[in-house]
Structure formats: structure tokens, C-alpha cells
Amino acid sequence: MVNGEGAFPSLALALLGLVRDRARHGYAMYREWNEPNGLGAVWRIKQSRWYALLARLEASGYLTSTVQPQGGRPPRKVFRLTPAGRDAYLKWVRSPVEHGRQFRLEFLAKLHFARKEGPGAVADLIDRQRAVCRGWLEEQQAHMAKASPEQSFLYLVHRYRAGQVAAMLDWLDACAGMPDRNAASV
């Protein structure tokens, strides 16, 4: 669960966003996550992994739970965010992704939850991510400039990566220019 740097993976931290404002039981959170018009459009997770993540977040002090009886059905756990969980979530949702491979899943999840934090959170996240992307683009352009004719494949690799990053920047610019009708008002 915990990676080599001692931090939770992005999926676990993103899960905390589902209990940011209110206590919820695991299956309700799982259903919301997998809605096709929400996070389910970009990041799918199996139910067994979902419950394992909840258990680990609770064991680590990011969530607390109470057992809620349900009459003739098995009781369910209702989860709440702890102060440590809130701090970890806010740090995660406000930070840009550091690697291009994280953009497709993690950045989109951050953008989803930043919209719930309000328009200012969205603008700040986009600005921070633009700065990181500009650094990636400069790095790829420097590699392209250094590539010799004998390294034409390497040049093509860096040109491809530069094109991907340029597309990310264009998309971020488009996002920044769109009115966000679904963002929470702050």
C-alpha cells in the first residue's frame, strides 16, 4: 500500500476526496467513483481493491469508521475523514503531478476534486501544472537539440514526448479558459 517514499499512492489519496465533506459508507463511495460521467470515465477500480484501500487508510489514521446496523442485512461501516486524512488529501489535490505518465489518471482525478474545492483551487492547480509541464517541454526540447544524426530514433522519441507535453499545455490552457459551472463557490 505505502510506496517506497512512505507516501500513499494517488488512488488512496484521491479516495479521501469522497469523504471530504461528509461521512459515507464504502459502497456509496465506490458507486460514486465509478459513475461513467465522473471519475469512472478515466480511472476504474475493482471493488475488492476499493475495500482494501479503505481498510489501509483507516489503519493509517486517515479515516475513522463506525459500524451502522441495517436491520436484516449485515452492518456497514461509515467512514469519516480524520484531520491527518484531510491534510494528506489537501496536499495531494493541490499538488501538480510530477511525471507525464501520471497526467492521464492522477491529474484528471485531482482536477475532479479541485472542482469541488472551488474555482480558486482549480485555477491554482492548473497554474502549478502548467509550470511543471513547461519544465517537461524544455527538457524534451533540450534533448532534441542535443540529438545527433546517428541518434535519429532518440530525436523522434523526444519529439514525440515534446508533442505530448505541448498537447497537455494546450489542454490546460483550454481548461483555464472555460467557465466551471460545476465548481463549488468559495
Confidence category of residue 13, pLDDT binned at 50, 70, 90: very high
Q: Classify 75 as helix, strand or coil.
A: strand
Alpha carbon dihedral 154, 96, 175, 116, in 10-degree steps, equals: 150
Q: Are the C-beta atoms of 63 and 82 separated by less than 8 Å?
A: yes
Are 57 and 103 in a shared domain?
no
| Residue 93 pLDDT | 97
Please answer whether residues 35 and 28 qualify as being in contact, where contact means their C-beta atoms are separated by less than 8 angstroms: no
| Domain stops at, among 94, 113, 144 | 94
105 and 134 belong to one structural domain: yes
Co-location of 171 and 118 in the same domain: yes
Question: Are 86 and 109 part of one and the same domain?
Answer: no
Q: Do 106 and 127 contact (CB within 8 A), yes or no?
A: no
Residue predicted with more confidence, 57 or 4: 57
What's the structural domain count of the chain? 2
Q: Are residues 123 and 174 in the same domain?
A: yes
Q: Given this model, what pLDDT does residue 181 score?
A: 54
The pLDDT assigned to 183 comes to: 59
Reply yes or no on whether the pLDDT at 1 is more than 50. Answer: no
Measured distance CA(15)–CA(50) in Å, rounded: 9
User: Facing residues of 77 across strands?
Assistant: 67
Mean pLDDT of 144-162: 89
- The verdict on 116 and 175 lying in the same domain is yes
Section 153-174 average pLDDT: 96
Specify whether 159 is located in the same domain as 178: yes
Residue 184's pLDDT is what?
56
Domain boundary among 27, 61, 94: 94
Distance from C-alpha of 22 to C-alpha of 3, rounded to nearest angstrom: 28
Same domain, yes or no: 103 and 88: no
Which segments of 34-151 does DSSP mark as H helices, in order? 47-59, 83-94, 108-117, 119-146
Asked if 105 and 185 sit in the same domain, the reply is: yes
Could you tell me if 82 and 64 are in contact, meaning their C-beta atoms sit under 8 angstroms apart?
yes
Cell of 131: 509550470
Same-domain check for residues 121 and 183: yes
pTM for the predicted model, two decimal places: 0.86
Q: How far apart are the C-alpha atoms of 99 and 6, rounded to whole Å? A: 18
Q: What is the pLDDT of residues 78-133, one digit of tens each?
A: 999 999 999 999 999 999 999 999 999 999 999 999 999 999 999 999 999 999 99
Burial of 34 (0-12, 13-18, 19+ CB in 10 A): middle
Mean pLDDT of 175-179: 86
Same domain, 20 and 105: no
Write the pLDDT tens digit of every residue in 28-40.
Answer: 999 999 999 989 9
Is 3 found in the same domain as 63?
A: yes
- The DSSP secondary-structure symbol of 100 reads G
CATH number for position 52: 1.10.10.10
Q: State how far the Cα of 90 lies from the Cα of 179, in Å rounded to an integer.
A: 23
Residue where a domain terminates, one of 39, 72, 94: 94
Least confident of 4-8, 41-45, 63-67, 111-115: 4-8
Which pLDDT does position 69 carry in this prediction? Answer: 87
Domain limits for position 140? 97-186
The confidence score (pLDDT) of residue 5 equals 38
